[in-house]
Amino acid sequence: MSTRRALHFVFKVGNRTETAKFYRDVLGMKFLRHEEFEKGCEAACNGPYDGKWSKSMVGYGPEDNHFVVELTYNYGIGTYRLGTDFRGINISSKEAFKNLSNCGYAVSVDGGRQEVKSPDGYSFTVEDTDSQGDPVQSVCLGCSDLSKSVDFWTQLCGMKVYKQENKLALLGFDDTQCKLELQDIGTSVDHATAYGRIAFSCPRTELPDIEKKMKDAGQTILTPLISLDTPGKATVEVVIVADPDGHEICFVGDEAFRELSQVDDKADELLDQGIAADKSDEWFKKKGLTKGTA
């Protein structure tokens, strides 16, 4: 069994009210944690922004054994330009499939699969089946050279290949975990301004080795090994790198992250309080302005 595990994918969102409804009422996920920050993250978790922001973790169960979504909201930014980097998250859930039948969002149907886009335009494909474990089956990212990407993820990140065909490869650390799907889009990958980040954990003792292996291979180190403090919670160590197409990858020490990521029963309440206290829409409207587009 691998010592590494898939954790979450980070999305930037511009409308927390509609986003919360989508994840709760359409996908049927639960909010697990919510935090508000007065200044930008040292590891640029919220992108290249220095101002106030929030982080909400949402998924089908505890982060110890579920792949979840991290929603980052930058106050004052209403929309982000989508690129070709993120291709979709695949979910197996009869409940979510049923919810899509009358959700108010445009849905494309293909047999026992339905595709829907979140309020910010991120794609989700839902199958009319229930999984034995985590409903989140895979995350699909675009790449420009499939063989080059597979080499990176297997040789430098330690993943194994579950399936590979002409333009698609399925990789992962363990049979029971959410998989990484790579789709060759036949051209360079555009990350635009909505670019996300995928996160994995490993024993903290493996972090220096990951960083060294990436350096020795001439790969991009976005954030050298660093300790990040969360007031009142665990201090985690992370190293953030980029794959050949510029996808951001965060490796975090598993021991501290398990402590940090415990489910907060007040997550929904904290998120709703944050939304209610956010007067930025009113401020922009009063000034005759609209929120910024990143």
Q: Residue 110: which pLDDT band, with cuts at 50, 70 and 90?
A: confident
Give φ, ψ of 100 to 5 degrees: -65, -20
Can you tell me the distance from the alpha carbon of 162 to that of 143, in angstroms, rounded to the nearest whole number? 17
Answer positive or negative: Cα dihedral of 262, 205, 196, 116.
negative
Can you tell me the distance from the alpha carbon of 195 to that of 159, in angstroms, rounded to the nearest whole number? 22
- What pLDDT is stored for residue 101 in this prediction? 82
Can you tell me the distance from the alpha carbon of 281 to that of 176, in angstroms, rounded to the nearest whole number? 42
pLDDT digits (tens, 9 = 90+) for 144-155: 999 999 999 999
Can you tell me the distance from the alpha carbon of 277 to that of 272, in angstroms, rounded to the nearest whole number? 9
pLDDT digits (tens, 9 = 90+) for 17-36: 999 999 999 999 999 999 99
Q: If you average pLDDT over every residue of the chain, what do you get?
A: 93
Evaluate if residue 132 carries a pLDDT over 80. Answer: yes
Name all domains of the chain by residue range, CATH numbers in brackets. 5-293 (3.10.180.10)
- What pLDDT is stored for residue 205 in this prediction? 97
Query: How is residue 57 written in tokens?
Result: 């973790």
Q: Residue 223: which pLDDT band, with cuts at 50, 70 and 90?
A: very high
Which residues pair with residue 181 across a beta bridge? 140, 170
Query: How is residue 151 written in tokens?
Result: 């080499």
pLDDT digits (tens, 9 = 90+) for 52-70: 999 999 999 999 999 999 9
- What pLDDT is stored for residue 283 in this prediction? 61
Evaluate if residue 90 carries a pLDDT over 90. Answer: yes
